[in-house]
Copies of this chain bind each other. A is one copy, B any other.
Amino acid sequence: MTKPTKATRHKKAMEKQKAKVDATIASATLERGVAVLLTGDGKGKTSSAFGMVMRALGYGQRVGVVQFIKGQQLSGEEHYLKDHCPDVEFYQMGTGFTWDTQDRGSDIEAAERTWAVAEAMLTNTNLDLVVLDELTYMLAFDYLDADRVISAITERPAEQSVVVTGRGGGSKLRAAMDTVSEVKDVAHAYREGIAARKGVDF
């Protein structure tokens, strides 16, 4: 008699779970764009942002992407957007990592130039989703003024969603976002000596 009992217990537990899920959905009724922060030291922040780009494009939404830091070498998702998604507004700072440039002055100029593009997107009512990839480092290095960045994010069009990625970012930025996920690095292939993999890591 173990099997029917297990099935019955399962049904009961699932009925309870469904009631809980339904109640949560019923209480979340505010319809507006959301601000999402993907932070932490683990793998998956930028890829998650690009997964949301795919999600938005699946509904025919308009998308803008600004990548801070990156752009020296194109990665897979950048190739994809350039080759297959000409309608996505796409801008890259293009300087490479701060430890590659090693030049604070030129980094700040590049950050300001890139931020101007982001700021324009954050006032563009035609865009449903804006991705600001690796933006947090611009705040961590004090390349951009945090208050100015946070104001632009919170004052964006009500229907627009925004996704910010990168480690850290500070408590003020966190407080300004609706959804915050911290991606923890529990294990990483490179610590086992495995090289970064094309199509997965870049």
- Residues of A at under 8 Å CB distance from B? 6-7, 10-11, 14-15, 17-18, 21, 24-25, 27-34, 36, 38, 40, 42-59, 61, 75-81, 83-84, 97-105, 128-129, 141, 161, 163, 174, 177-190, 192-202
| A58–B199 alpha-carbon span in the complex (Å) | 8
Stoichiometry, as copies per complex, reads 2
| A200–B59 alpha-carbon span in the complex (Å) | 11
New A-B pairs, 18, CB < 8 Å, besides A28-B196, A42-B181: A18-B99, A21-B97, A30-B192, A32-B197, A44-B44, A50-B50, A51-B53, A55-B75, A55-B202, A57-B76, A57-B84, A58-B81, A58-B83, A58-B199, A180-B186, A181-B184, A181-B186, A182-B184
Partner of A100, one of B18, B43, B196: B18
Q: Is B178 in contact with A15, judged by CB distance below 8 angstroms?
A: no
Q: Is A182 in contact with B183, judged by CB distance below 8 angstroms?
A: yes
Q: Is B43 in contact with A193, judged by CB distance below 8 angstroms?
A: no
A27 / chain B contacts, CB cutoff of 8 Å: 193
Q: Is B77 in contact with A54, judged by CB distance below 8 angstroms?
A: yes
Assuming A178-B192, A184-B182, is B76 touching A59 (CB within 8 A)?
yes
Question: Residue of B at shortest CB range from A192?
Answer: B178
A129 / chain B contacts, CB cutoff of 8 Å: 199-200
